[in-house]
Chains A and B, each alone.
Chain A
Amino acid sequence: EVQLVESGGGLVQPGGSLRLSCAASGFTFSSHWMTWVRQAPGKGLEWVANINQDGSDKFYVDSVKGRFTISRDNAKKSVFLQMNSLTAEDTAVYYCARGVYGGNSDLFNYWGQGTLVTVSS
């Protein structure tokens, strides 16, 4: 059974940093692109970033470029999202997701339960 479990969320002050983790199991992690999607409270879904199988290709939504970094550790079957210079607009539930077909443009059939990031003083 495919499982994605996010961790690392919490309350952080504006300008601060946080590192999210997503632990994967139930599939060959090193064969799949991985993605982060976020959802602000009461709002819609926003694709944040994705990373290819060996970590050599990464893509970001414009609003996080230069502040967020996606990475992965295939040995630990985990994907990470380092978030720096956080603002209130980054407050959201962050979901880890796995795509159906692979590639940087994909749809998602496996999602974690999400981890809440709150940016507030």
Chain B
Amino acid sequence: DIVLTQSPDSLAVSLGERATISCKSSQSIFYSSNKKNYLAWYQQKPGQPPKLLISWASTRESGVPDRFSGSGSGTDFTLTINSLQAEDVAVYYCQHFYSIPLTFGGGTKVEIK
């Protein structure tokens, strides 16, 4: 099974500053045949289901503010939130969709400092 390790578990960032979350995979989730990384990022606010933010490691979903960006390839991935807003307080999860079983990272809680 592919294990996704997120860090940090939580971070506090001042409004307007940058938040950076890491997701490391136990094996490469890059398919050379289509040159795609099979990684997604989700945002989950309290009492709500997860919301898909980014697919293919770096493709923002429609309607997602451009302060959210994803990067990385192979086994190391990053979610960056530029200019953190109050509404970005949430837990963020990475998920691979490379193979069964699908797995999620442990989550990173983002708070306002």
Listed in ascending order, the chain A residues whose CB lies under 8 Å from chain B are 44-47, 59, 61-62, 95, 97, 100, 104-109, 111-114
Contacts and interface: CB of A to CB of B under 8 A. Distances in A.
B55 to A, nearest CB: 6
B101 A108 contact: no
Interface of B is mostly: loop
Given A44-B107, A100-B55, A105-B38, A62 B101 contact: yes
B84 to A, nearest CB: 22
Contact of B99 (A45, A105, A111, A113): A105
Contacts of B97: 105-107
B7 to A, nearest CB: 14
Contact of B49 (A44, A100, A106, A111): A111
Contacts of A44: 93, 104-107
Interface of B: 38, 40, 42, 44, 48-52, 55, 61, 93, 95, 97-107
A59 B104 CA distance: 16
Contact of A45 (B61, B95, B101): B95
A108 B50 CA distance: 9
Nearest to B95: A107
Contacts of A108: 50, 52
Contacts of B44: 45
Nearest to B40: A107
Given A45-B95, A108-B52, A109-B61, 9 more contacts: A45-B104, A46-B104, A62-B101, A100-B52, A105-B98, A105-B99, A105-B102, A107-B55, A111-B49
Contacts of A112: 49
A107 B106 contact: no
27 contacts: A44-B104, A45-B42, A45-B50, A45-B93, A46-B104, A47-B102, A47-B103, A59-B100, A61-B101, A62-B101, A100-B52, A104-B100, A105-B38, A105-B99, A105-B100, A105-B102, A106-B97, A106-B102, A107-B52, A107-B55, A107-B95, A108-B50, A108-B52, A109-B61, A113-B48, A113-B49, A114-B49
